[in-house]
Amino acid sequence: MPGPAPILRDGLLDGLTLLAAPRTPVTDACAALGARVEALEADLLDEAATLAAVEGSAATMLVVDTAPLFGAGGEVALRAALDGAWSAVHAHFDAQRTEKVVLVAPPPGAGELAGALRAGLENTARTLSIEWARHQIRIVAILPGDATDPGDLAQLVAYLASPAGDYFSGCALTLA
């Protein structure tokens, strides 16, 4: 018996250039659907270096996965993840390249203060969606659950990258 049909069709993201901070299997799933994925090659905690790296990109969408920055958690990791996410988002805005931003949080069981990081990313998405609406920038936070399948997360990011994702901004999508 064949498995479930894929939700997203091949070629859906043809012509899209996506900047990944960092490149992960989630963003690679966008490449499998036709997107060109560039890795943001910069220390996200160095705003000048991040801006310089973004200025060389042709990407119109930014995906920031904070789980690698957060690691096992704690106060220092929380600060690094929030500052790194802000640095990437702000640099992409300054370079006037962004149309869409997706902030991916770690699951709630990722470590001490994971809930604080998740709340911070949700607040960032909600606040910036209002402040940057006049620039036609849409920003969304994804809050995966402890049992979220990486494939489902990848499909959601790809969906948000697609033209259908144009209708989402200022929201936090919580997955089980």
Q: pTM to 2 decimals?
A: 0.90
Within 33-102, residue ranges assigned H as helices are 47-55, 67-70, 75-94
**6 domain-assigned:** no
Domain that holds residue 32: 17-174
Predicted pLDDT at 14: 81
**11 domain-assigned:** no
User: CA 75 to CA 98: how far, in whole Å?
Assistant: 30
pLDDT at 8 over 70: no
Task: Note the pLDDT tens digit of each residue in 23-48.
Answer: 888 888 888 888 889 999 889 889 89
Residue 31: CB partners within 8 Å, gap ≥ 6? Answer: 37
Q: Which two tokens stand for residue 126?
A: 């909600």
Predicted pLDDT at 3: 42
**Average of per-residue pLDDT across 92-108:** 87
**4 domain-assigned:** no
Share of the chain above pLDDT 90, in %: 44
- Cα dist. 61→19, 76, 116, 118 in Å? 6, 28, 25, 21
Rounded to a whole number of angstroms, the CA Rg of the chain reads: 15
Instruction: Give strand ranges (E) for the chain.
Output: 17-21, 36-39, 61-65, 100-104, 138-143, 171-174
Predicted pLDDT at 7: 59
Q: Which of the 8 DSSP states describes residue 112?
A: B
**12 domain-assigned:** no
User: CA 102 to CA 65: how far, in whole Å?
Assistant: 8
**101 domain-assigned:** yes
Say which CATH number the domain at 65 has.
3.40.50.720
**Average of per-residue pLDDT across 89-116:** 89
**7 domain-assigned:** no
The number of domains in the chain is 1
Average pLDDT, the chain: 88
Predicted pLDDT at 11: 67
Identify whether the C-beta of residue 63 lies closer than 8 Å to the C-beta of residue 19. Answer: yes
**AA letter at 94:** D
Query: How does residue 5 score in pLDDT terms, banded at 50, 70 and 90?
Result: very low
**Average of per-residue pLDDT across 97-119:** 92
Q: Which two tokens stand for residue 153?
A: 């997360």
The top-scoring range by mean pLDDT among 57-66, 72-81, 118-127 is 118-127
**63 domain-assigned:** yes
